[in-house]
Amino acid sequence: MPRPRQPPLRLVRLEAAIVAGVLSSLRYLLADFIGDDDDAPPFLPDGLPDGAAPVVSEGIHRLIEYQGPSYAKLYVGRLRRFVGRRGVDDAMLVEIAQLMAMRMSYEDPIRIAQLKFAELEMAPGGPHVQHADNVCKFRLDELTGALPAVIAEPILDALEWVGWVHKPISIRFSTKSRWGIRRLKIEASLRRWRLFSVRYAKERVWVEHWLHMIDRSLTKQPKAASAIVQTATMVQGYGDAYRQGLADWHAIIDGLAKPAFDGVLPLPDLAAAVAEARAAVTPDPQQAALKRTIAEIRARVQFESQQPVVPAKAGTHNL
């Protein structure tokens, strides 16, 4: 019986190359839609102090797991602005790296689903161990904001029209049933479109605003730079706590830091003023205590700056 004729190896290779080329073109064409991120993980920035390397490396791994290698590259690019910069010591760089990784991995419903699913997979007793459910309270605009802008914007418009934008919604993240796990997987898979979401656009602006304030502080008031870096800890979590933290942060930055950098507010010790204002932060949506404290600080420094400067007595500083 004659053996079936095999196609020549060269022809097989050519076919494989054509198929690979076509698939690659299709992946490129649909990259935005399928959320493909086949970038290589980023390297640590040049000139990074040895003490900061483990923290930055951890940040990179966290953001690759959170979103992907391209997102981790953005983190490294942002961090590079401060490596070797005058006024930024190793401790401050570590703090910026830590807080930036934290803020760049903000807690949206997708992140909570990712964490819950990871908890299931990493459980010491195996994936069959029962875990407690997480019930998280989001606002409707927060939930919708996690979707791509093209879908979210009309929904947000409709919610605003109905008056439900701030309506609280409780979401259960459960691994107790197969349906719960399936739902977690679906929610976590939405990460591929996270960078197109309404929420991401806002978070991107927030991180840049915070970095910009650090940059201006290093130029205008280097002593206050550390206090400005630490303000990022004010914005954490999700739901009402997140909104409150964000509003408090804006109140302090817009009321004290920015006017001081612009030269409108003669605030010689910005770090102390920020600390005083932060001490007045309470979980009050009206921000009454915080606004009062900021107004007091502003009035005080304006008053002090209008006082005539009394020359110091000779030799007083030596006493």
Partner 1 sequence: MDTSHLAEHAGAASSFFASIFVVATLSMRTMIPLRVFGILTNIILIASAIPTHNYATLLLHTVLLPLNAYRLHQMLQLVRDVKKSVNSDLSMEWLKPFMTERKCAAGEMLFYKDEKADSMFYIVSGRFKLVESGIELPVGAIVGELGMLSPSNIRTQTLECIEAGMILSVSYTQVEELYVQNPAFGFYFLRLASARLFQNIETLEQRLAQYAAPAPASAASGPA
| Residue 53: exposure state from Cβ atoms within 10 A (0-12, 13-18, ≥19) | middle
Interaction between residue 39 and partner 1 (CB under 8 A): no
DSSP single-letter state for residue 193: G
Least Å distance between CB 315 and partner 1? 37
| Residue 189: exposure state from Cβ atoms within 10 A (0-12, 13-18, ≥19) | middle
Stretch that binds partner 1, among 42-50, 109-117, 165-173, 204-212 (CB under 8 A): 204-212
CB atoms within 10 A of CB 100: 23
Stretch that binds partner 1, among 46-54, 75-83, 100-108, 188-196 (CB under 8 A): 75-83
- Our CB check for partner 1 shows the closer of 81 and 291 to be 81
Interaction between residue 212 and partner 1 (CB under 8 A): yes
Q: Which of 37, 69, 81, 291: binder of partner 1 (CB under 8 A)?
A: 81
Q: How many whole angstroms separate alpha carbon 151 and alpha carbon 210?
A: 28
- Our CB check for partner 1 shows the closer of 77 and 168 to be 77
224: left (phi over 0), alpha (psi -120 to 50) or beta: alpha
Can you list the positions of beta strands (E) in the chain?
A: 134-139, 168-173
- Our CB check for partner 1 shows the closer of 239 and 259 to be 259
Residue 148 β-bridge partners: 197
Q: Which of 52, 63, 64, 211: binder of partner 1 (CB under 8 A)?
A: 211
- Our CB check for partner 1 shows the closer of 88 and 112 to be 88
- # binding residues, partner 1 (CB under 8 A): 12
- Phi and psi at residue 146, to the nearest 5°: -80, -10
Q: Which of 137, 209, 223, 300: binder of partner 1 (CB under 8 A)?
A: 209
- Please give the residue ranges that form the binding site for partner 1 (CB under 8 A): 74, 77-78, 81, 205, 208-209, 211-212, 215-216, 254
